[in-house]
Amino acid sequence: MRIVVVGASGTIGRPLCAELSKRHELITAARSGGDVSVDITSAKSIEQMYQKIGRVDACVCVAASGALDRFADLTESELLENMRGKFFGQINLVLIGQRYLADNGSFTLTTGIFADEAWPGVTGGAVISGGLHSFVLSAAIELPRGLRINAVSPTMVADSVEDFGHLFPGMEPVAMERLIRAYANCVEGGETGGIIRAYR
């Protein structure tokens, strides 16, 4: 398969590309340093990316993380700003990308544990991930030409515990190997409309 990985230079993107490249032709996309540059906060940039790379069999997005927030000070404008990348960016990868993916191709998005488990300081991330879950369920029955869509919902990745573990005391991390396997299964399998909770 010919696969574009958006967010290829990130914590999850690097090992994911290493795994998928064993079996597939990969195109890496990132703000900088990839085969093609893309800013997922911009629909125009996403369109330009697809035009540049041509037909692909799969698009995997592991870009953009949900920002931390303080509920007492959270505002509509702050929430909308946080949604530009992880929420609207991933949705636009699908809405625009459905015209560029080959028949029976697939989209794999990234959400997160906070859609299902409440945690202080992540209301924006919870809203974004929950909304993406609903989008995946709806898109799965609407996408044409046999296109599939799934989302991988990770918790904190074991590789990030040293940097972020203090923010989420008591949270069990997911091993990177297990997480990468979840993404690979979405690309290489036949499921659609799945929310793959990699932490369970």
Report pLDDT digits (tens) over 67-119. 788 899 999 999 998 899 999 999 999 999 999 999 999 999 999 999 999 98
Name the 3-class secondary structure at 100: coil
Decide if 114 contacts 126 (C-beta within 8 A). yes
- The arrangement of strands across the sheet holding 2-6 comes to 36-37, 25-30, 2-6, 56-61, 101-110, 148-153, 194-197
CA distance 69 to 82: 10
Q: Please determine, for residue 63, whether its predicted confidence score (pLDDT) is greater than 90.
A: yes
For the chain, domain boundaries: 2-197
Angle 57-62-65 (CA atoms, 0-180°, nearest 5)?
Answer: 155
- For residue range 149-174, list pLDDT tens digits in order: 999 999 988 887 877 677 777 788 89
Residue-level pLDDT at 51:
98
Superfamily of 2-197 according to CATH: NAD(P)-binding Rossmann-like Domain (3.40.50.720)
Residue-level pLDDT at 163:
73
Any residues with CB less than 8 A from the CB of 52 and at least 6 apart, and which? 36
For tokens 């906060």, what's the residue?
41
DSSP string over 140-180: HTT-STT-EEEEEE--SBGGGHHHHGGGSTTPPPBPHHHHH
CA distance 193 to 153: 13
Q: Please determine, for residue 65, whether its predicted confidence score (pLDDT) is greater than 80.
A: no
Any residues with CB less than 8 A from the CB of 134 and at least 6 apart, and which? none
Q: Please determine, for residue 27, whether its predicted confidence score (pLDDT) is greater than 80.
A: yes
Q: Mark residue 137 as left, alpha or beta (left: phi above 0; alpha: psi -120 to 50; beta: remaining).
A: alpha
Any residues with CB less than 8 A from the CB of 94 and at least 6 apart, and which? 59, 107, 109, 135, 139, 143, 149
Name the 3-class secondary structure at 10: coil
Residue-level pLDDT at 151:
98
> Structure pTM?
0.95
Q: Phi first, then psi: give them for residue 119, nearest 5 degrees.
A: -150, 140
What proportion of the chain, given as a percentage, has pLDDT over 70? 98
Residue-level pLDDT at 194:
98
The H-or-E segment that residue 108 falls in is strand 101-110
Residue-level pLDDT at 101:
98
